[in-house]
Structure 1
Amino acid sequence: MQQLLSPGLYCPFPSQINKYVDILEEHAIEWVLHFNLLANESTYKRFCKSKFFFLTASVYPYSNIEQLKIAHDWLSWLFIWDDQCDLSDLGKKPEVLKAIHKRFLEILNGAEVMSHDIPLSHALSNLRQRMLEKVSVKWLNYFLCSFENYLYGCFEEANNRVYGIVPDTDTYIAMRRLSAGADVALPLIELCDQLIIPDFLRKQDIFKQLNEIANNLLGWSNDIFSLSRELATGHVHNLVFVLHYQHKIPLEEAIKRATQMHDHEIQKLISLEADIPSFGEEVDAEFAKYILGIHAWIRGNLDWYSFTDRYKTIEMLELAKY
């Protein structure tokens, strides 16, 4: 399968790296260890070889160090939770997930963390505190709505696992927008680049469309690069597998179709950007910076796949005690 995965995904945006990448590398392991997020030697090694610090520095190249650390810790948290949902028995226990998700949201909305809360909950409390030093409560509430979408996507995937459902392509694409985590990653552009996106702009169709396209690109590229691992672990929530299964085509052909879909989405993004109307000088300037942030995410994400060893080995995780 490794020989199949050389898709050469199209991306016209330049590679960049944040100047604080070395400082971030030192911070990366300290935070997850402080909150005991790596349960054993296996998860520790898995985290180190994933190199999330490089991903963060690549996708938020303009950020100062404090915001960059917050973004890194959020991405680390998401990947660690994603592994529990995908690579342990927890991913087949949707009702357990629902209860855990409820507690996550309570803590992010200000509930006091308790001694019996799991380490991931303690980490979320820390993230909430640090974010409120940088953003308004209003923006945090917007961010939490996006995070709730991600949790719902994890729950829906678990339901499908229990019942052995392989979704059709359109259903999968809609579900993937939730579970990909892009709804969390893209708002962090605003935090990292200290942008002010007004409410009226968020409600504009063109803003929603740009985010939807970026979300598709991040989810689909991940599906292509993680295919080997997901096939080996029986994970069917993958665009390539869905195309293979629904259209009854060989995996090689499914990879080509997924690659074509990705590249077409890039062209849609570029075309859409050419038609952005003016919303006034100040808003246009902030919107332009946000779009640069989207470009950085698309390019940096692809660069990370060449740097990380996250998808080069296959192992199941022991279920943490929840």
Structure 2
Amino acid sequence: MPQLLSSGLYCPFPSQINKHVDVLEKHALEWVLRFNLQPSKTAYQRFSKSKFFLLAASAYPDCGLEELKIGNDWLSWVFIWDDLCDMSEFKKQPAALKVFQQRFIEILRGAEPTKQDIPINHALADLRQRTRERASEKWFNYFLHCFEQYCHGCVEEAAIRAEGIVPNINTYMKCRRFSVGGYLFLTVSEFCNNYMLSDILRNHKTVKQLELITIDILAWCNDVFSASREIDSGDVHNLVIVLHHLHKLPLNKAIKRSADMHDQKVKSLINLEASLPSFGEDIDVELAKYISIMHSWISGNFNWYSLTSRYESAEKLELINF
């Protein structure tokens, strides 16, 4: 399996790294320690080896240091929660997930954590405060909408796991597009770059298609590289596993099919970009910047997999630590 996964996927977009990367790792680890998000030595070592800060520095290559720190901490927070959704008792408890995530929404809407709140809630309140200090209300409301979509995807995946089934391709894609957090992090990219997509582009069908293709690329790249861990953990929300079960493909062929689907998505993104009409000079410049944001996420995400050890282990997480 590792040999198959190292064969590479198609990624024509240039790799970049933020100039503040050297100070980001120290901040990233200090923030996690401050809120006790990885309370055991094993958990902290696993987080450290995951090197999420390199993903942040690659996905947000042009932003300033403070925005980069916030963007990085959003990544860390979501990955920590994602592990709880996928690798603990939560993975098959949609009702319990929903309760926890409703508290997240309350905190993002302004509720202050209490002594009864778990550490991840206190960390979320810190992120809310730091983000709101630098973001417009309009942007934050859109971010909150994307956050709610992400939470919904996590609950839907847990419900499917609880049923003990492998989803069909349409169900898988519907859930995965939200649970992968792509819409959420494209929105964080706007924040990091002191930029907000105008309504005329946000609501344009072609821009929505560009976003959708980008989300699929991010999800399927992750699925190829994380397939081994998710097979070991018994998860089913992975394109490789869905194709393996539904089409009765051997795993090596399911991986090859998934990689081919990923590469075709990248080519379709390039083709769609080449066919874009002109919206006028100012809007064309704005759209070009948004496309650059998507490219940075695709290349940053792709390159990070050769640097992280996140997908080498399928160990179960204990809820009591959180």
TM > 0.5 fold call = yes
How far 1:76 moved relative to its partner? 0.3
> Partner of 1:252 in structure 2?
252
- Preserved CA contact (<8 Å) 1:18 1:62: yes
Give the letter for the 1:244 counterpart.
H
> Partner of 1:154 in structure 2?
154
Mapped to 2, the partners of 1:176 and 1:162 lie a distance apart of 16
Mapped to 2, the partners of 1:17 and 1:321 lie a distance apart of 34
- 1:226 maps to 2:220: no
Equivalent residue runs for 1:187-226 within 5 Å: 187-226=187-226
> Partner of 1:26 in structure 2?
26
Mapped to 2, the partners of 1:2 and 1:47 lie a distance apart of 21
Mapped to 2, the partners of 1:157 and 1:250 lie a distance apart of 24
- Preserved CA contact (<8 Å) 1:51 1:308: yes
- 1:50 maps to 2:50: yes
How far 1:67 moved relative to its partner? 0.6
Q: Unmatched 5+ residue regions in structure 1?
A: none
Mapped to 2, the partners of 1:235 and 1:6 lie a distance apart of 21
> Structure 1 residues 165-174 or 1-10, which shifts more?
1-10
How far 1:318 moved relative to its partner? 1.1
Give the letter for the 1:67 counterpart.
E
Mapped to 2, the partners of 1:281 and 1:151 lie a distance apart of 37
Mapped to 2, the partners of 1:150 and 1:62 lie a distance apart of 25
> Partner of 2:94 in structure 1?
94
> Structure 1 residues 204-213 or 192-201, which shifts more?
192-201
Mapped to 2, the partners of 1:6 and 1:26 lie a distance apart of 29
How far 1:284 moved relative to its partner? 1.8
Give CA-to-partner distance per residue, 1:41-90, whole Å, 9 cap, x none: 12101100000111100111011111100110000001000111111111
- Preserved CA contact (<8 Å) 2:107 2:125: yes
Give CA-to-partner distance per residue, 1:155-178, whole Å, 9 cap, x none: 011111111021111221121101
- Preserved CA contact (<8 Å) 2:197 2:286: yes
- Preserved CA contact (<8 Å) 2:39 2:321: no
Give CA-to-partner distance per residue, 1:132-167, whole Å, 9 cap, x none: 111111110100110111111110111111110211
Q: Unmatched 5+ residue regions in structure 2?
A: none
Mapped to 1, the partners of 2:125 and 2:131 lie a distance apart of 10
Give the letter for the 2:279 counterpart.
F
Give CA-to-partner distance per residue, 1:235-269, whole Å, 9 cap, x none: 11110000010001101111111011000000110
Mapped to 2, the partners of 1:120 and 1:279 lie a distance apart of 43
> Structure 1 residues 79-88 or 34-43, which shifts more?
34-43
- Preserved CA contact (<8 Å) 1:176 1:219: yes
Equivalent residue runs for 1:63-82 within 5 Å: 63-82=63-82
Give the letter for the 2:49 counterpart.
K
- Preserved CA contact (<8 Å) 1:15 1:296: yes
Superposition CA RMSD, Å: 1.1
- 1:236 maps to 2:243: no
How far 1:320 moved relative to its partner? 3.2
Q: How high is the TM-score relative to the length of structure 1? A: 0.97
Equivalent residue runs for 1:174-189 within 5 Å: 174-189=174-189
How far 1:321 moved relative to its partner? 5.8
Aligned partner of residue 319 in structure 2, secondary structure:
coil
Give the letter for the 1:152 counterpart.
H
Identity of aligned residues (%): 56
Mapped to 1, the partners of 2:7 and 2:132 lie a distance apart of 41
Give the letter for the 1:177 counterpart.
R
Q: How high is the TM-score relative to the length of structure 2? A: 0.97
How far 1:314 moved relative to its partner? 2.9
- Preserved CA contact (<8 Å) 1:217 1:262: yes
> Structure 1 residues 192-201 or 76-85, which shifts more?
192-201
- Preserved CA contact (<8 Å) 2:151 2:179: yes
Give the letter for the 1:65 counterpart.
L
> Structure 1 residues 115-124 or 72-81, which shifts more?
115-124
> Structure 1 residues 71-80 or 180-189, which shifts more?
180-189
- Preserved CA contact (<8 Å) 2:139 2:196: no
> Partner of 1:13 in structure 2?
13
Mapped to 1, the partners of 2:82 and 2:195 lie a distance apart of 28
How far 1:20 moved relative to its partner? 0.3
Across the two proteins, how many residue pairs are aligned to each other?
Answer: 322
Give the letter for the 1:76 counterpart.
S
